[in-house]
Amino acid sequence: QPKAFIFDLDGVITDTAEFHFLAWKQLAEEVGVIFDRKFNEQLKGVGRMDSLERILQLNPERAVMPLAEKERLAAQKNANYLELIAKTTPADILPGIEELLRTAQESGVKIALGSASKNAAFVLEKLELTHYFDYIVDAATVKNGKPHPETFTTAADALGVAYSDCVGIEDADAGVTAIKSAGMFAVGVGDAQHLPHADYRVDSTDELEFTDIIRRYEEHQA
Ligand code: G6P
Ligand code: MG
């Protein structure tokens, strides 16, 4: 069986993907950019400054601005986001996730968090899930964001597990690509249209079953 599971956070463990969307949408209105869910798909898994750059590109008049102004906008988005997640509790853990964490831990599988979010440790605390995690990747120290594999290889290196013994779980295409580029087995959560590269895909987290993931992983290795 695999030796480690590396989880994405936003959109896999809890539905903060929606709050990131809403926080950017508030900001987009301020900078005169039209921003919809379809465009938002390509921001999933993408870091704060890179996301801002992509949004600004939508309005050629605002695409060029001083770095200090960009930093102010990014800080504003984060303030919007923190306000939206203020009421997060363990009730916001997505269906099936805590059972998967518990089963993996009981089966001796190591668990890491591979999120691009600088708020990841804070959100895990609010969900009261920190104790399941052997390692949390610090997004501030990762030089190359998803789809680069660094987030996932950093987690595996910290756990001391070979990449081929790792399973990554993601809701974003950029994240699935990162997992695959790391040489790991990629589980995608979401619709097929957005996750064409996953090794194993489910529609939603309540379909994430430990034994199914192990079986699919082993079939893939064979
Ligand atoms: C995750 C989310 C992205 C978000 C990024 C940075 O990857 O999927 O939507 O932009 O984290 O999050 P942060 O909390 O650091 O702004
Ligand atoms: Mg995600």
Mean pLDDT to the nearest integer, 181-204:
97
- What confidence score (pLDDT) does residue 129 get? 98
Per-residue confidence (pLDDT) for residue 74, from 0 to 100: 97
Helix (H) / strand (E) element for 169: namely strand 166-170
Q: ipTM of this complex > 0.85?
A: yes
Alpha-carbon distance 48 to 19, whole Å? 13
Range 44-82 burial, b when 16+ CB lie within 10 A, else e: bbbbbeebbeebbeeeeebeeeeeeeeeebbebbbebbe
Strands 110-113 and 135-136: parallel
Asked whether the predicted pLDDT for residue 30 surpasses 90, the reply is no
Radius of gyration of the chain from its Cα atoms, rounded to whole angstroms: 17
Place of tokens 């949390």: 136
Q: Which of 81, 92, 75, 66 is nearest to 25 (CA)?
A: 81
Q: Is the CB of 169 under 6 A from ligand 1?
A: no
Pocket perturbation via mutation, ligand 1, pick of 48, 76, 194 by most ligand atoms within 8 A of CB: 48
Structure token pair of residue 188? 């995608």
43 lines ligand 1 (CB under 6 A): yes
Instruction: Tell me the pLDDT tens digit for each residue of 55-90.
Output: 999 988 888 899 999 999 999 999 999 999 999 999
Share the mean pLDDT of the chain.
96
- Give the closest ligand to the alpha carbon of residue 19: 1
Confidence of residue 34 (pLDDT cuts 50, 70, 90): confident
| pTM of the complete model beyond 0.90 | yes
